[in-house]
Structure 1
Amino acid sequence: MAKYEQLSNFIISNVGGKENIVSITHCMTRLRIKLNDKSKANINELENNKEIISCQEAEGKLQVIIGTHVGEVYEDIIRIIGDNQQKDDEPQEKGSFINVFAATITKIVVPALGVLLACGIISGLNSVLMATGVITADSGTYILLNAMGNACLTFFPVILGYTSAVAFGMDPFVGMILGAILIFPNIAVDMNAGEALFTVFEGTPFAMPVFKTFFGLPIIFPANGYTSTLIPIMLINLFASKVEKVLKKHLPAVTQQFMTPFITILFAGAIGVLVIGPISMILQNGLQAALTWLIGTSKILAFAVITLIYQPLVIFGLHWPLITLGIMEFATGGCSLIVASIFPASFTHMAACLAVLLRTKSPKMKSISLPAFLSACFCIIEPSIYGVTLPVKKRFAYCMAGGLVGGLILVLTNSPMYAVSMGVTGFMAFVNPAVGNFTGLIWCLVACLAAMAVTFTLTWVTYKPGEDGKNEDDVVYESTKNITHKKEVIASPVSGEVKALFTMKDEAFAKGSLGKGVCIVPDEGKIVAPFDGTIGALYPTGHALCIESENGAQVLIHVGTDTFDVKENIFTTLKKQGDKVKKGETLIKVDLKKMKEMGLNTETAVVVTNSNDYLDVINTNKNRISCNEPLMTTVISDVSLEMAKA
């Protein structure tokens, strides 16, 4: 059996089976699963698994946060379901532009993150060795380490040519060639040699001279070339993927092996250099100009916003566009203040985990906080977020406060990073390789210590034991092996066809905004009590009522949609607010015939309005049901009961 086969099968089962999986990818800590039917995913079961940190929906996908071993789990899942779920023609992400952009950036940048960080560490090491006099700039050691450290960013268009091609569902080797064209040796020098024929956008920040033509068409090629850039190759490959799909559809199969890449490279390469490249550079320059303007307007405000939003963005996996802006800084200036400003964030989570580790008496919490602390050392903060800080929300706020303090120290002292590297291995990236200056490194140490001090102190001082004498973490994280569960069965208040709640035409019920439950299309005109309890509210029209059981379940029964203002005598109430009722007693009579004659929807929602108080609300699997038959079962643990009492 594979190492994570049991966990992989559990995940597959609780996302609705392999048939429900459209595609699955992963980043450093989380699986990103696109589903055919999101309602089939059992979020509660997934989150209750001790091997899963948390689950959430973001960017139109179910994100299952597992930890740094997510790659191994991913491989096991792919082995089980087969790679047919990794479809080349996967539908494009839907939603807002921000969600689409963030999802695309994540797909393209994350696969290259490992080598990007590795090269950053080597670059930082080379800077330290030269600054301390161990090596000189003309030594073979420096030359080789410099090549190792800068290879990733120098050839970034080739690397992103591969990852973006995979993301867009095209031949990755064609994508690499298109990236290589942009950084072909001496192409920038040759394209800008001689006298300029004319200048496009002359007199503006976007001015670009034209030195050469392609069959009479002007070639606008940046003087510094496309080395280290992101946006140009991403847009070129997006265009190339469309070209490739058309060719595969229309070219004879016998010629596709060589004709498809031939035409794609020729056409997309020419259009990329002549049109897409210049447009992408205008966009990239525009982003840089906007960022420069914001920093020039209020440097403190600009970076305060960046440092504050970074950690919340990590929760939703939307932080990559911010990091992309930082990489663009590297491309234009050889260093980045944006990446530097978010560098202390991981150290705040180290501090929070350390404070909790030292104060907690809970064995479960200790087992969570220690590995989370170690992960945060290497800038992998998801285990800390989902296991330590976010469950007790004030801690996450303390991490944001610490990140703000540390980030602003680096910004105000103008201490950028000269390589992309994070966590404890990133300190060397603050050494200026040009002059061998350690000032940035010193300020980085000060900033990280200050960030940690703020977070550690706030977490330590505000840490409160529970009123029952237990540590507050024991309530949140206590091992489930000693927990007993209590169940309450809710009978059906009406007879009819049972449907999923999300199928209702009433959006508030369909989205689950009012609680978990079911929809029933009634075939009998009476509403009965689903349990022994008290009528908490009864609407004057008689179309809806709330009833609370003796065990605390609060159930809303709502007959029809848009029935709140019906004037006709359709509903006859037999009880009043505050009445004690017994299970099976008739509460309301409904004239279903008149409702149908009036064209009213008879769908009846039965929802547990205090669903959040329960570990789960389990619905019947029957398609039809009669009054008094079991409809739903609420599940609550003794720990939940204690929390409710508190």
Structure 2
Amino acid sequence: MAEEKIARIAREIYENVGGTQNVKKLIHCMTRVRMTIIDDSKVNLAGLKAIDGVMGVVEDETLQVVIGPGTVNKVAQAMVDTVGVRLGEAFPNAEGQSIDDLMAKTKSEAKEKYNKPSKFKAVLNTISKIFVPLIPAFVGAGLIGGLASVLGNLVTAGTLDAATWTQFITVLKIIQSGIFSYLAIYVGINSAQEFGATPALGGVIGAVSLLTGMNPELPLKNIFNGSALSAGQGGIIGVIFAVWLLSILEKQLRIFIPDSIDIIVTPTIGLLVIWFAEIFAIMPIAGVISSSLVGAINFILQVGGGVSGFVLGVLFLPMVMFGLHQILTPIHLEMIAKTGSTQLLPILAMAGAGQVGAAIALWLRLRKDKEFVELVKGALPVGILGIGEPLIYGITLPLGRPFITACIGGGIGGAIIGSLGQAGAIAIGPSGLALLPLIANGKWWVYLLGLLGAYVGGFIATYLFGIPKDAKEKADNYGKSVQMETLQPTLRVVTTPEFSSSVISSPLDGNVKELSSIEDEVFSSGMLGKGVAIEPTNGEIVSPVNGVVSTVFPTKHAIGLTSDEGLEILIHIGMDTVALNGEGFESFVKQNDRVRKGDLLVRADFEKIKAAGLSTITPVVITNSDTYREIIITHGATISKGQEIFTVKA
């Protein structure tokens, strides 16, 4: 019923302002929907005021429809959803079209807009959605795995005693393998959720790629060249593609399979068909590509020097994505057997170092995007230790361009090692700093120079050429439209005790004025309830009651409280201060916090507010005034925080 009410109010507002085609854009603040109207003559003010749920209307530079805290955010969101734009974005104008035609057109335009510049970007976005939920596990298990690698390499190098450390290292590796060894299963589940397939079946498809039921003595054959298939052949990308096929097949099967047998028939057919495609097409094709690359890699190694180092450093991460890196294992082992070390591994390790440099550049260029920065902070330490999945799948690949510039950084590091030469690893191990103890013949400094070169190369390439325009715009505007964010309603049950009267104290120091004396009609007319206006003398705003913080507006310029007696109080700091986007306000509480009378809620810089040409007058309103028999207000005096300002009689 609540959703029906929101949809009704949104629809009726449009009906009374001349339709969506008469609105340029729409935002909301703590109490009202603000619309920029194209033709004022088409607005039916009487009709707007008559809408059930609308508390009043204010005509200003924008048309302001007062709905009240807690509901306004939902109505505003419903209104922009109707035309397929976001809060604050320009509405498409379609004078003369019907509402239905306009909606269809704008939704189509929005869809087309978000798909630009290409479908490739949509693919990257899908990959991001699949891997972002795995990032916490990547980071935790990655750090543990990095520690295990460092300790293991020190044991291999003879620095640590094997008898003392081996069991501890084994336990750490078991924890690490919980996600990295079975990553295909997690990816299969998440891919199924993204594509609309059954998650459990997606997990099975991922597990199929691991070939866990195959007898090593009787392996499955590549139908193209007869070679044995190996676990993971086809890579994570192959799993995603197979699950995508599963989602299509499931949807088609459910068109004609009766519901009574759907749970039996659909998963059985789905798994059989996709298993066939995965085992006899996806994995073999990857195997053919792998076999072809062996010759190419051998040729590159023969060329030698910085050229081979650059090419291998650039290409290694794309090979990992497609599961093609496994072809390199026998090459590593052959090199170690013949020369005592593999000079290929240190070069390939540069690919991960390029990702580290790219991530640091992204951190600096997009530092205003706090959410993105938190992702980078979590992924960087793991990447430095040689676990690259969080950086690849959570940071660079979803953005597209940074993945390429990171690969270039890896190529630069590879070129450095290839040019200096003689930096080999005595065993197959991780990349990153963790590989240092395994570098043979005291050539660790060559490997370290390569790492630094890859860091710097990935950083410079990304900083100059790898920042996507939309990501930069998002970061530069992070928080600037915060006043348009949707507020989540407080979900709680308030038990209102019986009381004869309740006292509310002043939340700030200042001079008390009548609410009717301020210029904002929404407050002065009493639309939102009875209250007072305070001209503040200092910037500390405290709680006037014992109760709960019901709402903190994102810009911190307004706060809602519900007292233990059920009184709903709105404190609006200054007039039109939503335009400051939070500048000059410091909040000390958040939604649902328990507060006592006198607790500090917000500290406001009133000098900054005045410098912006805005009024500091602060309305304090009881928004559910109609619930109570009488509200006695103290007028016309100087008041201090904590002194009585209202007496409410129930």
Q: Same fold (TM over 0.5)?
A: no
TM-score, scaled relative to structure 2: 0.39
TM-score, scaled relative to structure 1: 0.40
